[in-house]
Structure 1
């Protein structure tokens, strides 16, 4: 069965289910009620595998049928709407990936109106304000909600496109002030390889048994890998610079705490980039390599310890991460043009 046929089928299997929580209707589609308020949509508690799908089937004449998988109670939410109605401005506390199964779909993201066509995707970060437009023509939109926990080391490392890595890395940071989204367009107009993965994801989430959580994670990895290699997208220079600065600040903060015993492999494990990325990042931001930056941090700390404590030079060298006393003396003199002993006497 094709994805389009499956989406239509599950939104027509039954009418509106009795006893549906009224708050669920507002979650599925909340019309605009205020120009000053921003709703925050939270990840549904019912989900097992750190992912869920929300499906919209918009029919001609202004009718919406929608459902969510998984959910504790099977339902199809239905409502009529006035064409061009907007949803309430909102954000998510999760990452959202939207795929246009059929027709077109308009969103207003960070104040900018964008039209997504059939086969295109939009990846929206947490805390990024946006609105959805419901229009008169038929369209089918698949919204995939992705929790932070699903993007572990294995998942992220298998995404080959560096700009998507940058997006995900900044999205997963706890402290950030950047709002971002990515608009993906297929490089080939006849790309038919993605929809089978999306169909598998929807069916597994509909099943929602113990195995589904593991299967869905693998399917999402395939989806992210596919769009990273078969779709094109652009970031403005300003957006790219902001993202890299956030990553650089996060990495250097981590180094400032863990400089005594740290390797570039530790950084790769922590931040989910390959090791070469860090040298490129430090070259761009400091003009030197990662090791040169780390040495600078260690030597500055050694200078501070020599000036403010009475511990031996050997202990200073060891505390800042150098087991080889001779090597420590050599690089210290190269930087400060004096020995550690003379530094202490200043």
Structure 2
């Protein structure tokens, strides 16, 4: 059992107060379907005027749902029995909901379509998105984070360093308010352990509710959204995916062109927070070249420009564009231009 799952279980089984099924708080945590056509708008609870709250659901075998909310003035657990296939009332929120599947699977009907989320998945639902939850008789643990619009905007502005990506991620990827959509995030590689370490710290802070925890929680959310935007696959239309790839390629290309003499894959990883192989795939898809081939193309173009438009010596130009091995530079230059740097300079400058 993971540390995160252990803490979630502790929240819903080791509470000091157990609320009965008819308790008013129950409707806040889970509202069974009471109308096929009606809909409910869940309002932000403003727990201690915070911008973030957590609801934890723990499904047990036999049709029981254990739930709790953090932060809370008391440690409590709400217990509700249900029948296989029961649903919550169709509803929307006036806040954003970010959910994580800690264990098992979880099903929702979102905009009339049934979606199944698996262990390790996230989903983000905008405040205008109509949905309802299926209550299934199988062990599962789900975390729901309620994010106020204020903290979401703060996180996104601080999270994305590339200027073009700020606008794109906010409007096309995450908010999508005009389309009333949701996003389904699936982990790539071994990111789950890193993500759950952040979530474990976040749950601990929400539970302790100690001095300064709001700032710590915001920092942890920034880390989580950074992982979501770089280490997870997320559901986009083909048009949105193409747009995102072009925007990202332009950002990366601009960075390489501005730092071509010294740029490394490590620099790109540190700047854009994607894994190294992502840059090779993106550049190959857009140019047909490998990363090293693309950098070489930019360096040779810069060398050609300097040969024609500057008075620098060839040795100075070779060093300026990032090469230390002069023999290698002459080799690749001749392969591209079919001549030497001095002959190209003489031929090109004589035409002007």
Aligned to 1:45: 46
Structure-2 separation of matches of 1:26 and 1:109 = 20
* Aligned positions of 1:319-338 closer than 5 A: none
C-alpha distance 163-24 of structure 1, shift in aligned 2 (>3 A): farther
C-alpha contact (below 8 Å) 1:90/1:131 kept by paired residues: yes
Structure-2 separation of matches of 1:102 and 1:9 = 14
Residue by residue over 1:179-232, the C-alpha shift from the partner in whole angstroms, topping out at 9 and shown as x without a partner, is 010000011166311001011111111111331111100000000001111101
Residue by residue over 1:57-82, the C-alpha shift from the partner in whole angstroms, topping out at 9 and shown as x without a partner, is 00011111100001233310001110
Give the CA deviation at 1:234: 2.5
* 3-state SS of paired residue (1:11): helix
C-alpha distance 141-154 of structure 1, shift in aligned 2 (>3 A): closer
* Aligned positions of 1:1-346 closer than 5 A: 2-14=3-15, 17=18, 22-153=23-154, 155-159=156-160, 166=168, 168-169=170-171, 177-188=178-189, 191-237=192-238
> What's the TM-score, normalizing by structure 1?
0.63
C-alpha RMSD of the superposition:
3.0
Give the CA deviation at 1:18: 5.5
C-alpha distance 4-36 of structure 1, shift in aligned 2 (>3 A): same
Residue by residue over 1:70-119, the C-alpha shift from the partner in whole angstroms, topping out at 9 and shown as x without a partner, is 12333100011101111001111111110000000001100110110000
Give the CA deviation at 1:178: 2.3
C-alpha contact (below 8 Å) 1:160/1:225 kept by paired residues: no
Structure-1 separation of matches of 2:27 and 2:240 = 32
* 3-state SS of paired residue (2:72): coil
> What's the TM-score, normalizing by structure 2?
0.62
C-alpha distance 61-147 of structure 1, shift in aligned 2 (>3 A): same
C-alpha contact (below 8 Å) 1:86/1:131 kept by paired residues: yes
C-alpha distance 241-94 of structure 1, shift in aligned 2 (>3 A): farther
- Higher deviation after alignment, 12-21 or 130-139: 12-21
C-alpha contact (below 8 Å) 2:158/2:222 kept by paired residues: no
C-alpha contact (below 8 Å) 1:39/1:91 kept by paired residues: yes
C-alpha contact (below 8 Å) 1:125/1:171 kept by paired residues: no
Unaligned runs of 5+ in 2: 245-352
C-alpha distance 163-76 of structure 1, shift in aligned 2 (>3 A): farther
Structure-2 separation of matches of 1:163 and 1:140 = 33
* Corresponding pairs, count: 242
Structure-2 separation of matches of 1:18 and 1:154 = 34
C-alpha contact (below 8 Å) 1:159/1:165 kept by paired residues: no
* 3-state SS of paired residue (1:83): coil
C-alpha contact (below 8 Å) 2:40/2:92 kept by paired residues: yes
